[in-house]
């Protein structure tokens, strides 16, 4: 079982036993099927297909797996609301995200010193 498809770890342990209220996001292209939605993954990243493969978390895949869409959406939106991201968007995907996501230098001399 892939880590992003382990219902025991993501649902039973993390969300139920530990009471985790945040959302579980996959690593990029780490989801192997739409079943990951019912096994605890709330968001498939990056959300765009790798090569010719379509995203697994599309409407037909999630409905076929009987995913708990209201819970998945509530977890993602809750994080956006509590962090303030919903009111202070940095960019809009497909419009103007290239600069903040791919060209911003996010390091400093302090970061380099810690990394050594």
Would you please indicate which residues are annotated as catalytic (active-site) residues? 27
Q: Taking the chain, what is the end-to-end CA distance rounded to the nearest angstrom? A: 35
Output Rg (C-alpha) for the chain, integer angstroms.
17
Structure tokens at 86: 């919903």
Burial class (CB in 10 A: 0-12, 13-18, 19+), 9: middle
H/E segment holding residue 80: helix 69-83
CA-to-CA distance for 7 and 9, rounded, in angstroms? 5
């Amino acid at each position: 079982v892939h880590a992003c498809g382990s219902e025991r770890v993501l649902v039973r342990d993390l969300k139920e036993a530990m009471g985790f209220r945040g959302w579980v996001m996959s690593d990029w292209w780490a989801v192997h099927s739409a079943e990951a939605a019912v096994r605890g993954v709330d968001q498939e990243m990056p959300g765009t297909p790798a090569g010719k493969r379509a995203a697994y978390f599309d409407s037909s895949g999630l409905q076929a797996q009987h995913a708990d869409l209201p819970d998945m959406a509530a977890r993602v939106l809750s994080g956006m609301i509590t962090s303030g991201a919903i009111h202070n968007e940095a960019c809009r995907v497909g419009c103007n995200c290239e600069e903040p996501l791919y060209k911003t230098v996010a390091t400093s001399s302090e970061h380099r010193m810690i990394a050594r």
